[in-house]
Structure 1
Amino acid sequence: MPILAVVLTVGVIAALTVLAPRLNDSRQASAETSSSPSADPLDASASASPSASSGPLPKFTTLEAPPAIDKAPKKPKIDPCAVPRNLTVMTFNIKGGRVSPGELGGIAGVIRSSGADVVLLQEVDRNRRRSGNVDQPAIIASHLGMQSVFGANDYITDRGGYGNAILSRFPIAESGNTHLPNSDGKEQRGVLRANIIVQGQRLVVFNTHLDHTSDSLRQAQIGAVMAKVNAYDGAKILGGDLNSGDGSGVLSTALSSLTDAGASLGPSHDGGGRVDYLLPNSWLEAGDGRVTPTSLSDHHAVSIDFSMRGAEDC
Structure 2
Amino acid sequence: MAGQAGSHRAPAEQSPLLLILGFVLVAGLLFGLFKVVDPGGGDAEPTAAIVSETTTSATTTAPTTEPEAKVQQGLTLEPVPAPVCEDVQVETEITVLSYNIKSARIGGGIGAYLGVIANSGADVVLLQEVDKFRHTSNQIDQAGWLADNLGGWYDAFGANVDYGGGLYGTAIISRYPILSSENTHLPNGPGGQQRGLLHAVIDVDGVEVSLYNTHLQNKIDYLKVAQARAIAPIIAADDRPRILGGDFNSMVGDTPLSTIIGGAGMTDTWGAVGIGSGLTHPSSNPRGRIDLLLHGGDGITAISSDVLPATNSDHRAVRATYAVDGVAAKVCGDLYG
Q: TM-score, normalised by structure 1?
A: 0.70
Select 2:157's aligned residue among 146, 150, 156: 150
The alpha-carbon deviation at position 300 of structure 1 amounts to 0.5
**In structure 1, C-alpha distance between the alignment counterparts of 2:190 and 2:316, rounded to whole Å:** 30
- Match for residue 304 of structure 2? 288
**Partner AA of 1:156 in structure 2:** Y
Asked whether the 8 Å contact 2:106–2:313 carries over to 1, the reply is: no
Aligned with residue 213 of structure 1, among 219, 223, 243:
219
The answer to whether the Cα contact below 8 Å between 1:99 and 1:131 also exists between their aligned partners in 2 is no
The aligned residue for residue 302 of structure 1 is 318
Determine if contact 1:94/1:122 at 8 Å carries over to the other structure.
Answer: yes
Letter in 1 for 2:281: H
Unaligned 5+ runs, structure 1: 1-74
- Matched length: 233
Gaps spanning 5+ residues in structure 2: where? 1-83, 328-337
Matched residues in 2 for 1:185 and 1:244: separation?
Answer: 18
AA aligned opposite 2:243: I
- State the alpha-carbon separation in 1 of the partners of residues 85 and 258 from structure 2: 43
Q: Which is greater in Rg?
A: 2
Distance, in Å, in 1 between the alignment partners of 2:203 and 2:315 is 28
Separation of aligned partners in 1, 2:256 and 2:88: 37
Q: Is 1:258 aligned with 2:266?
A: yes
Which residue matches 2:178?
172
Matched, 1:109 2:140: no
Residue 187 of structure 1 aligns with which residue?
Answer: 193
Identity among equivalent pairs (%): 43
Give 1:198's aligned residue: 204
Cα offsets for 1:17-61 (capped at 9, x unmatched)? xxxxxxxxxxxxxxxxxxxxxxxxxxxxxxxxxxxxxxxxxxxxx
Aligned residue for 1:249? Answer: 255
Question: Which residue identity lines up with residue 270 of structure 2 in the other structure?
Answer: G
CA distance in structure 2 between the aligned counterparts of 1:140 and 1:163, rounded to whole angstroms: 15
Which residue of the partner structure matches residue 98 of structure 2?
91
State how far apart, in whole Å, the 2-side matches of 1:79 and 1:272 are: 46
Could you tell me which residue of structure 2 aligns to residue 269 of structure 1? 281
CA contact (8 A) 2:270 2:304 kept: no
Take 2:201 and 2:156, find their aligned partners in 1: how far apart are those partners? 11
1:111-130 matches, cutoff 5 A = 111-130=117-136
Secondary structure of residue in 2 paired with 1:269? coil
Which amino acid is the alignment partner of residue 321 of structure 2? D
- Stretch deviating more after TM superposition (203-212 or 258-267): 258-267
Q: What corresponds to 1:279 in structure 2?
A: 294
Give me the whole-angstrom Cα distance separating, in 2, the residues matched to 1:252 and 1:310.
Answer: 30
Q: Which amino acid aligns with 1:84?
A: E
1:10 match: none
State the Cα distance separating 1:76 from its structure 2 match.
8.3
Alpha-carbon offset, residue 244 of structure 1: 0.6
Q: CA deviation digits over 1:243-272, x for unaligned, max 9?
A: 111211112122220101112342011241
Asked if the contact 2:250/2:290 (under 8 Å) is kept, the reply is yes
Kindly indicate whether the alpha-carbon contact (under 8 Å) linking 1:243 and 1:276 is maintained by their aligned counterparts in 2.
yes
For residue 140 of structure 2, give the secondary structure of its aligned residue in structure 1.
Answer: coil
Which residue in 2 is equivalent to 1:141?
147
Find the aligned partners of 2:247 and 2:139 in 1 and give their Cα distance: 24
Tell me, in whole angstroms, the C-alpha distance in 1 between the residues paired with 2:86 and 2:291. Answer: 40
d(CA) in 1 for partners of 2:145 and 2:219?
A: 31
Tell me which residue corresponds to 1:223.
229
Question: Does structure 2 retain, via aligned residues, the 8 Å contact 1:105–1:143?
Answer: no
Q: Distance between the aligned counterparts of 2:235 and 2:85, measured in 1?
A: 33
Distance 2:311 2:134 in 1: 22
